[in-house]
Amino acid sequence: MQFSWLEGVSKKWRGILVIGRTTERDGKRYHIVGMTMEEAATLYILEPSEERKKRDPKKKRTQRMILREQETESYSYMQCREFKIGSRKMCTQSACAGDLIPENYEEIKLFLDMMDAGWQVPAWLRETDWRLLRLVKLTFADVRRLPGYSPDMPITIRHDPAPRKHLLARAKPLTLEVGKPMSFRFTAHDGSKVQCHINQVTLVDVWAEAEKSFGDEKLRKRFTAEQLREMENSYYQALRQSCPEGMCYVGIEYECSKDISLQFYEKAFLDSYPESRNGGSAAFFVMWEKPDKKTGSHGLALRGTGIAVPVPPDTAAVSVELLLYMEKTEAWEECV
């Protein structure tokens, strides 16, 4: 125990508002606790935390095993864009979330203050283990005082669209040939058949692309020479670790009969262990440009992606697997 742990506990709120509403979705319950006012207005929501699968720390796992063990994204109030109480609308400025920890005295103090202000813990929540919950905190922009509230007031929540990840039950193995188109089908999570067309497979010299991007006149007008040097140094340092100069990444342009984004992985990468190979550079995707055309040769939406594993510049074919895809969702409103 350290006294420094108590520094965040002793603070006094400039305002505190109890809401105490529960909503249910897909068999899971969520509880809007209330709001506090300090430097900014913050809303607190309790939601279920996905249970982590127990894993043997001594067992070595391949990249494929690790990717399959990752939880698919579940619904979360982290995607809340607007929160409206009665006629008072508040826009989300930032959001964060974390599992409840019994030793977090700041959160204990928050709940005690809420209870002192009139919050009544609902019956379903009273005996719920904290390890099964997480606390979402939404901070609102330009809110100088907490809104008025009564239990009969309507609450409307506007949610941002959030891509939904779907792992394929069986990965789809493919051999991509540079410069050659191909078509294939796979079964989606809902059992439907998806027709895909790979229109173009190219080798991308990310070093040449980086030089081109950093030499762009528009970029040089936006940043000072010192800022550009720092950006270049940071970028090239990351690039050296993931893609040595002279090597390339694989770029893919494709169309699908379903409105989804595909994620391909090199087979050798999936079969490898984390300590034996580098997983690629996120910097590549910053520089990756979208296809010039919106529609492909098959009349479907044209998309671009890449495989961030370095290959020699004379590579003619790459063995890959389609392991997962992302499904687009629309913004939506919820009345609590």
pLDDT tens-digit readout, 228-255: 888 888 888 888 888 899 999 999 999 9
pLDDT digits (tens, 9 = 90+) for 286-300: 345 567 788 999 999
In this structure, what are the phi and psi dihedrals at residue 51, rounded to the nearest 5 degrees?
Answer: -70, 135
Question: 189, 243 in Cβ contact below 8 A?
Answer: no
**Which of 113-127, 229-243, 321-335 comes out lowest in average pLDDT?**
229-243
Measured from the Cβ of residue 91, the count of other Cβ atoms closer than 10 Å reads 14
Please count the CA atoms within 13 angstroms of the CA of 315 that sit on its side-chain side: 23
Q: Count H helices, E strands: the chain?
A: 8, 15
Is pTM beyond 0.75? Reply is: no
Q: Which residue has the tokens 């392991």?
A: 323
Q: Which amino acid is at 303?
A: R
Sign of CA dihedral 40, 41, 44, 49: negative
Residue 33 Ramachandran class (φ > 0 left, ψ -120 to 50 alpha, else beta): alpha
pLDDT digits (tens, 9 = 90+) for 160-213: 887 888 999 999 999 999 999 999 999 999 999 999 999 999 999 988 888 888
DSSP 295: B
| 270: its two tokens | 């999936």
